Amino acid sequence: MKREKKTKKSQKSVGEDVPRCRLCGKTKNLTKTECCGNWICDDDDKYVLFSYAQNSCHRNHRRYTLCGYHHAEKHSGTWQDCPICRDSIETEMYVWYGTNEFNFEKLENPPEYEPTKCSKCGTIIILSEGGYSLSGEDYFCDKCTKLDYLEHLK
């Protein structure tokens, strides 16, 4: 007697109608987002304060998307065409918030922008990755920030 191989189709049929996190696909411990009503992991408790970890689907959507920002700021209308959101966030970060992997729906036709550069050495800084400091309107890469700090200690 030959054993039948399980196919993805036969495995999939169980629980097709079960709600899933729209970011990671998990089916347990879900909640709906307050901003857009999508199913998402109810996993805020996984985040360790000041760790900057991105291990929580719920927190990532709420904190790192235009959808979450728009809702938190109580703007009217939709985030996709909100002029207040657009004017409140630097273009590079606006594009990242609208197009990163924590979105259910990505920003169509994101605006172009010039890369952010260190005001001291000219190195390109990727704002969404951190590792920089800001003084007034000047950005400084991590290396120049450390050098400046060491100079001030003298």
Instruction: Tally Cβ neighbours within 10 Å of residue 10.
Output: 10
Over its length of 154 residues, how does the chain's per-residue pLDDT go in tens digits?
Answer: 444 444 444 344 445 689 999 999 999 999 999 999 999 999 988 888 888 778 899 999 999 999 999 999 999 999 999 999 999 999 999 999 999 999 999 999 999 999 999 999 999 999 999 999 999 999 999 999 988 766 766 6
pLDDT at 21: 96
pLDDT at 150: 66
Residue 116 near residue 92, CB atoms below 8 Å: yes
Q: 61 φ, ψ to 5°? A: -65, -45
Nearest to 99 by CA among 89, 109, 87: 109
CA 62 to chain CA mean position, Å = 8
- The count of C-alpha atoms lying within 13 angstroms of the C-alpha of 70, restricted to the half-sphere facing its C-beta, is 22
- Per domain, the residue ranges of the chain are 18-113, 116-154
Q: 98 φ, ψ to 5°? A: -90, -10
